[in-house]
A = this chain, B = another copy of it.
Amino acid sequence: MKCLTEYLKFHTRSHRAYVHITPQVEQILGKSGIKEGMVLVSAMHITAGVYVNDNESGLIEDIDQWLEKLAPFRKDYKHHDTGEDNGDSHLKALLIHHEAIVPITAGKLDLGTWQRIFYAEFDGQRDKRVNGCILIPGSLAMAMARF
């Protein structure tokens, strides 16, 4: 296999949401047969991001409240002159960043004990997509999964 391309689609019920996607990434990694390399998981939106941290519900609430404090909803963002009302969603996404990269070792995501991959949605309730690449260097056998 040289290249595997897939996209994940999310439609969150709430305006902001933190979706645990490690199982999906692992599943695609397994399909790809890749043993060594790195995974790029990349949101395709400017009001969403991807990060690596703990899958603990209290912490996820802390993260949400903290992002609202650092990048609060406000009516008077200049961006709202375009008719949008999601200026804060852009700023929250900038803090979290659109992409995360995780190493692969011996066919598995080389995450620490508590590291999990999350899709962070800051302007939800509509379809959003994530893509990514799994890159492996190999002698003559290269593979890439995009999901």
Residues of chain A whose beta carbon lies under 8 Å from any beta carbon of chain B: 2-3, 5, 36-38, 40, 42-46, 51-54, 56-59, 61-63, 66, 70-71, 77-82, 87, 90-91, 93-103, 105, 110-115, 129, 131-133, 135-144, 146
A137 interface neighbour in B3, B54, B82, B96, Cβ under 8 Å: B3
- Asked if residues A101 and B58 are in contact (CB atoms below 8 Å), the reply is no
- Asked if residues B102 and A36 are in contact (CB atoms below 8 Å), the reply is no
Q: Which of A36, A46, A54, A56 has the most chain B CB atoms inside 10 A of its CB?
A: A46
Q: List 16 A-B contacts (CB under 8 A).
A: A2-B137, A2-B139, A36-B144, A44-B110, A44-B112, A44-B113, A46-B112, A46-B114, A58-B78, A62-B79, A63-B90, A94-B95, A103-B132, A110-B146, A135-B135, A137-B137
